[in-house]
Structure 1
């Protein structure tokens, strides 16, 4: 005689067992090309790092990655797009200090929460900023910038990748420390800003080192100051701000995030694959060449880091007086 059998489905994978929807989703992932949204224009550090990582993730996950540039509103336009996307692991974001530490304090009408609206997957790279000038200017150091700014009504033009970016706020901090006026010239990304400096449309810009590195090595711009605490080993001839009697140290960061609510199995797989990519000797060497260091955080640590960065930058944004409705 047959005994009664409990026919409730088991929520575990295995032969003859019914898996939970989340497990089924993770097992079937990726289900097609993965979209990686870059919230800045092509040519900047965010775009550069995104494409390096996307190329390797495509190989490791055996699926195409489509890098999509959605510039605007200090990286918040593209970030909002990802926050609104389905949390299925098919849409990801190259998040960064602008989109998740600065933008939320700058844009009063922002709809996303930098921590709760996203699944924060992995820190990818951290790096200092560098100030570069057009080679035809007489500027050789920070003292020259101060002198020229004081000699011009309204100060001098200083470019960055966008209003409210970390490099814009470096300009704000520098001007406050030196007691000078300036005119900020924001661009929709570091690439267009660098092109304007090279063409002589603006005399200088504050840029993240990875996006400026190739231009410095090609000798098409002149680097005058690095925001690291010590001279960077890849650019030993570039003095720091502190060496030039300006107490300013700043680090920017670039990372991988997705919409809130992504299945843990997909998040863990993406974190594992990303860490394998950025810690591989070839990628470490490439990051060093660009002037950056690979990240070293769990997903949980990275989420806590974002929350801490949000609090750290809020008073700096408030002190700058910069707000956008």
Structure 2
């Protein structure tokens, strides 16, 4: 009879419990996945999410279903992921709204943007663009600024309270010294629909989601919010060129619930990196005026989000933005 040392025998129950979990991790993903988009269909977050999942799904060997859960400045969808099982099957298209602005905007945020998530990778950044309706008399940035200053106020549509485009629009109004009235929607898609229809005179939107409407002539692009002109739209001036010192970009990444197993995080990060460095993916993002980062790791994305929360806080306070 072979005797098992007492110390080893005591470890057997723990090993037995760990074995199934290790097996599940090794087989991940064993079922279809879902990527929560905290905005309505049609906006930049949704467009970017579907572009990524189309390329990420074959690498992981499972379908990835994009699920739109809009509302409350992207916090409703983010909360769904914060409360999900940490099995790697429910992920979030985290963004500058859900994880940059909302922590300073909502006093009773239903999640901790750092402690309740495992941040995997930053995937793309994109500039905001100011567009106006076809009926708007402003044909260029100089005319737009002159008209707004003459009126002393500006109304503009945004994808939601606390979105990056909202902050950009508020900063624009502050820089021009006029009253700003942002009209919030449950995503860029509905906001653009009303802008095209003339319900609101202007909109601050991410350039990727606005691009098709600019190309079709449904709206007129006035300026971008980047420090330099867009390579895709070289004739479109920056706000700075109009004497308005406002620079801001939206960003999007992949996050999961807290306590995601390290092997899952590693495999997911590797697959995302392969997708984001593929020349075809890079070209497609560039067509949409999005800029993939040179490289993003879970560590660098986590540090990036922490820095964005800190940088947005004084802007939210100065603008006096309140949730609705």
TM-score (norm 1): 0.93
Cα distance between partner residues in 2 of 1:53 and 1:157: 33
| Pick aligned residue for 1:193 from 183, 191, 194 | 191
Which of 176, 180, 183 is residue 182 of structure 1 equivalent to?
Answer: 180
**Take 1:128 and 1:238, find their aligned partners in 2: how far apart are those partners?**
12
Structure 1 residue 95 corresponds to structure 2 residue 94: yes
> In structure 2, do the counterparts of structure 1 residues 198 and 9 end up closer, same or farther at CA, with 3 Å as the change threshold?
same
Task: Check whether the contact 2:228–2:238 (CA below 8 A) recurs between aligned residues.
Answer: yes
Structure 1 counterpart of 2:286: 288
Residue-by-residue CA offset, 1:107-165 (whole Å, 9 max, x unaligned): 1111211111100011110111111111221112333333333444x723211111111
Summarize the Cα distance change of 1:2–1:201 in structure 2 as closer, same or farther, 3 Å threshold: closer
Mean CA deviation greater in 177-186 or 113-122: 177-186
Task: Tell me if structure 1 keeps the 8 A contact 2:123–2:296.
Answer: no
Aligned with 1:239 (options 237, 240, 251): 237
Contact 1:131 1:206 survives alignment (8 Å)? yes
Contact conserved, 1:149 with 1:182, CA < 8 A, in 2?
no
Which structure: greater helix fraction? 2
Contact 2:161 2:323 in 1 (8 A): no
Pair 1:170-2:162 in alignment:
no
**Within 2, Cα distance between the matches of 1:319 and 1:3?**
71
The aligned residue for residue 269 of structure 1 is 267
Segment drifting more, 175-184 vs 282-291: 175-184
Does residue 218 (structure 1) correspond to residue 232 (structure 2)? The answer is: no
Q: Is the 8 A contact 2:154 2:178 kept in 1?
A: no
Residue-pair matches, total: 320
* Matched residue SS, 1:293: coil
Q: Note the residue ranges of structure 2 that are not aligned, 5 or more in a row.
A: none
| Equivalent position of 1:34 in the other structure | 33
Unaligned stretches of 5+ residues in structure 1: none
1:73 matched to 2:75? The reply is: no
Give yes or no for the alignment of 1:160 onto 2:161: no
Quick check: 180-189 or 250-259, which moved more? 180-189
Q: Which moved more, 1:92-101 or 1:103-112?
A: 103-112
Cα distance in 2 for residues equivalent to 1:100 and 1:149: 31
Deviation string 1:169-200 (CA, Å, 9 cap, x unpaired) is 11111111111113211111111111111111
> For the Cα contact (< 8 Å) 1:146–1:180, is it kept in 2?
no
Quick check: 2:128–2:207 contact (8 Å CA) kept in 1?
A: yes
Among 202, 217, 231, which residue is 1:204 paired with? 202
Q: Is the contact between residue 132 and residue 224 of structure 1 (CA under 8 Å) also seen in structure 2? A: yes
Whole-angstrom distance in 1 between the partners of 2:14 and 2:50: 38
Q: Offset of 1:31 from its aligned partner?
A: 2.5
On the 8 A contact 1:89/1:262 being kept in 2, the answer is: yes
Matches within 5 A, 1:96-135: 96-135=95-134
Q: Which moved more, 1:308-317 or 1:199-208?
A: 199-208
Q: Aligned equivalents of 1:141 and 1:191: distance in 2?
A: 24
Tell me how far apart the structure 2 counterparts of residues 9 and 147 of structure 1 sit (CA, whole Å). 76
Contact 2:128–2:249 under 8 Å retained in 1: yes
C-alpha displacement at 1:95, in angstroms? 0.5
1:19, distance to aligned residue in structure 2 (A): 5.7
Cα contact 1:150–1:181 (8 A) shared by 2: no
Instruction: Provide the TM-score with structure 2 as the length reference.
Output: 0.93
Bigger mean CA deviation after superposition, 28-37 or 64-73: 28-37
